[in-house]
Structure 1
């Protein structure tokens, strides 16, 4: 008898949990897929920033070495180097010389040991400069940065805010195929993350949306697209960062995203793909499903015939960036490695100057 009562109580608890949606995070998989792409894009921006700062920093060190030695460091820049390395070093020292704010002339105050140490630091700065600029994508860093920003925000720069022109979430996230679709805001990762994970009325009342703590702070109230998109985007993006750097390559991330596309509508003028809008609750153990409202989601409207998910604007842009910059997981230089090497050179030079 007790066993029967226990089963009845357990059944009631499970049924209540299933019907109410407790324990289930709505759009959790969609959140993970979008975050993978966002984290990939952010890693690309950080890499571009690190390369730029390293190039500037090494030239600054080279310039200071020239000032301290009166340009005598230039006398031996090609010793033991092949012609290509020599040319690269000449390019570095030419830039260092042109960026110097002081007239380069020896003052004869350096002892031989100090000057040799300065030459060594200058040579290491030249080596670091060469390691950075050897990457084939570096000359195209500006164009790559624009593509990444366009994938993230729909514009080729990082905006100061995200403020939609409508208060209507449906108008922004549930676009339909029409002749006017070309005038809609382009698909971007920021728009998609907000459409899928920004709180709607139903989620505020009953459901956890996207991640365990995604419904707090700047995302605790119902989303107003024309008022609080920027704060909400930054909050949700921070939760994406908690997932860490993507360990999969771009194509695997793209495949994960494509598998979550749950509907496709074709017309003679275009195609629409749908991410999200799944039933919030289900009682899988008894084969029953709830009749509750769907979770939030986003439509991808692509005008033209034979369009596939690969034509979604931000997916297309990130594929191009990855082809240029390579897969982050396969990069033989870890993030921050150039910065660490630069900081060491700066510290070594500063100590040498202070003890001069």
Structure 2
């Protein structure tokens, strides 16, 4: 007999976080999330101050067979003038009855909160965090801060009546197989920018707090036209920045600045998932911490995580300079491959720019929606 229980206790939260480890135990491409990071995300993240989330576990007898979180993102609804709800942290055995039970429970929770618009997902919590269902590219592990799921998930989600909202594309470069035009023209592009008093520099980690204030403004304005975008609050951005600072390589954290004003930034991250996939059940202790500390030098890949330019500074060559500098440093460090993503399928400007430097669209994620 299947049943659903809400996640309220520490024990239930641990079971909620750990369920995917059992589900994907035999999948070589699965990467466990760090337990401490997931626990904090679900409990103390600043998101919870203004929004609501309720996790649910599905049981078949005494065995967990699925999980889901119903998410009321008030910030999204206020910013976009809608009354939508979301689902996230969805994992399930290949059983439509179990999936339907999870989605119905999440739907009813959102209805009780007054949601009358669309039901969207998967997101963990919004498009500022990992989101989208993997629908193409199951032959390799996800890179840092990207989602992963079994191929049958799409059938379960569509079986409940969800339809496509938008697709998200991840791009791949293998070794030196990229168009190095942006690298070859780097000096000329930078000289042209200097005539407008625009310089490309590394993020100043010694004055990271001050940099964060400037970067927050750029982030919230550079991505404000993206589907599903929600501006990050000061606390949310600081939380993200604090986490990212722990793994930042200054050679891949760049800003474009004009007369002291940051007008763009590009951020790439070493793919720590190469280490995380070896840390059993996402537990850093007792041995995982050593894998993390000593594995950094063995990382062979990079994720271009974010590249944004504020309105009024686009098409000036800033994007090419940021990409060019990242590629130059990527090559110098001897990394073997890189991913950029995700990008929206209809973002023609950025997608054509990536294709021009021989980016290969090797993974695709889908956001789903249905009427509540």
TM-score normalised by length of structure 1: 0.23
